[in-house]
Amino acid sequence: MTLDEIIKSRRDTRHFTQDEVPEEVIQRALQAGHYAPSVGLTDATRYYLIKSDEIKKEVKKLFLDYDQKASNLTDDELQKKQYQALKLEAIEEAPLGLVICYDRSVLNHFTIGTVGSNEAIKFSAVSASQNIWLSLTEQGYSMGWVSILNYYQFKQLLGLPENIEPLGYFCVGKPATNYDNQPMLQQLNWKQKAEKPIVEEILVFTPITATESLRGTKQSRSDLSSKSSDLDKALQQKIDNKTKPTGSLGVLETLAKQIGIVFQTLEPQITNPHIAVFAGDHGIANHGVSAYPQDVTRQMVTNFLEGGAGINVFCEQNNIGLTIVDAGVNYDFPTNANLVSAKIGKGTQSFLHTSAMSETELNLCFTKGKEVVNSIFETGSNCIGFGEMGIGNTSTASVLMSILLELPIEDCVGQGTGVVDEKLTQKQNILKKAIEKYNGPNDLQSKLAYFGGFEILQMAGGMLQAKENNMLILVDGFICTVAFLIAYQMNPSVKENSIFCHSSAEKGHQKILDYLDVQPLLQLDLRLGEGTGCAVAFPIIQSAVSFLNEMASFESAGVSRS
C-alpha cells in the first residue's frame, strides 16, 4: 500500500478476530512510535502491554462505569438509545491491550521546547500513537482508542506512578471488518465525516483588547466611613452596651464594627462565605528559585480538585465554599474538571530575560479576576477570601514588593517552598539581577506586566471587584498581600473592606502589613498559601458577627453597669 492508502484505511477498530498479534508486528509498530517527533528529544513516551484477561476484565469494568455516566449526560432518549447501541470498545475481545503514556517527570529538568508548553510532551505521545496506528494498518492489523475511563482509577488499577499520564487504553489486533472503508460512526449513520478538511487562511490580525484597561480601572464609591458617621457611632454604642467591660473583646470589637460599616447595618450577616484559589505558573521557576519543580503546580491543583489539600480540609470544617481558578497553569486540565478556567497563558515568561507578560495579558488578568469574583458574588456570597498556588510565585511576589515599596530585594525574599542557605542566596541574586536588568518605563502598568504573575494579578483584579460589590475581603499570606498591595495602589478604599487573616512566616509579609498599617488576626507561622489562613481565621470573624448580633445588652439582660 502507498502512504495515502495506509492513511485512508486506518480505522478506529472495535471488532477484532481472535488471531494473536505476532511479536514482530507489535515491535515494529512500537519502533514506528519511537520514531515519532519528540519535543526536545525528551523521549517521554512510555508503553505498557496488557495480555492478562484478568486485567482486561477490570479495565472493562472501569469503562462500563464511566460509559453509563456518559450515557446519562443526555436527556434525549433516542440519542441515549443510539449511544448505548454503539460498540465503543473491544477491551476483552482484542488479543492485546496497549497503554500509551507520557512521563511528566522529564519536565523536572530543563528541556528545549517544553518551556512554551509543557503539554508538548503529551503531543509527542499522540504523534507516537498515530505512527503505531499507521504501522499496524500497513501490516494488516489495527487499534481502537478507548478514552471513556476515569483516568485516576485507571492509573490506580494499573499501578502507574504519579508522573506517568496515560492517553488511554488501546485495543490491538487483526480487524474483523473494514467498516465499508469508512469510519464506524459514519457507517452507523451516527455522524458524517466531512469530505474535505476545513481550511481558512488568516489574512489580518485582530488586536486583543480587554474590556477595561488597568489605567481606566473605575474607582469604588467614596469612603464609606466619611458617609457613615451616624452608623459608626451607633455601632460603637451597640458594642459598648454589650454585657462586658468596655473593650474587653479586643480585636473582635474592632472586627464587628468594621463589618457593620462595610455592610452598612447594625446587624450584619455573612452569607455564603467563599474562598477562591488562583493557580498559575511562573517562568522564573525555571531558574532554580524553588525547592520544587514547576510541575508541582499542576499536581497541587489536582490535589485541590480531589479534596486532599489543606484548604479543602479547612473549608469543609468551616462550611466555606471553594473555587479553584486556573489563572495560567502550564497544563491543560480536562474540560470537565471542577475548576474555573481563566487561563491567560501556560505560565508567564521568565522576567530574568524578558517581560513576564504583555500589556494585553496584564489587562486580561484584571478582567478575568473580576469575572471570577462576580460569579461568586452572584451566588449570594458577600464574603470572599483569596488564596493562591504557583511554584515560583514567592519570587514574583518578592520582586513586586521590592518595586512597589522601593525596598532592597534582600528585605523581601523568603524561603518560599523551603529554599535555605546557598539556595536562598542564589534566589536573592537571581531576583536582584532581574530587577537591575529592567530598563522599561517607570509606570506601574509596565512594571506589573514585566514582573507579574497571572494568579497574583487576577487576585488583585478580584479584590478590586469585591470592593465594587461591597463584599468582605479576606486576605491570606504573603503572596495574597502583595496582590492586595497592587489593588490598594489602584484604589486605597479597598482597605476598608479587607481583613488580614494572619502574618505569615515569609520574610516580607510583616513589612507589607506594617506599611499598610493593619493588624493581622493570627500569628501561626503559616506559609502554606492556598487561602488556608483565611479559612482558619474565619471562625474568629464569624465570632465577631455573632457577639454583635446575639450577645445581650446591659438593658436586655437587666445587668447593672456599676
Closest listed residue to residue 377, CA positions, set 321, 338, 325, 335: 321
The DSSP bridge partners found for residue 277 are 324, 387
Q: Letter for the amino acid at 253?
A: E
DSSP letters for 72-141: TT---HHHHHHHHHS----TTTSSEEEEEEEEGGGGGS--TTSSS-TTHHHHHHHHHHHHHHHHHHHTT-
Report d(CA 463, CA 483) in Å as an integer. 8
Question: Which residues lie below 8 Å from residue 290, measured CB to CB, with a gap of 6+?
Answer: 391, 392, 394, 395, 416, 417, 419
Closest listed residue to residue 124, CA positions, set 134, 113, 135: 113
Q: Catalytic residue among 253, 306, 530, 550, which?
A: 530
Sheet arrangement for strand 274-280: 340-341, 321-328, 274-280, 383-389, 472-475, 498-500
Q: Is residue 410 annotated as part of the catalytic site, yes or no?
A: no
Closest listed residue to residue 287, CA positions, set 418, 408, 392, 413: 392
According to DSSP, residue 175 is labeled B
Evaluate whether 386 touches 476 at the Cβ level (below 8 Å): yes
Residue located via cell numbers 471562625 = 539
Evaluate whether 544 touches 256 at the Cβ level (below 8 Å): yes
| Cα-based distances in Å from 249 to 163, 252, 288, 555 | 51, 6, 47, 19
> Any idea which residues carry the catalytic annotation?
530
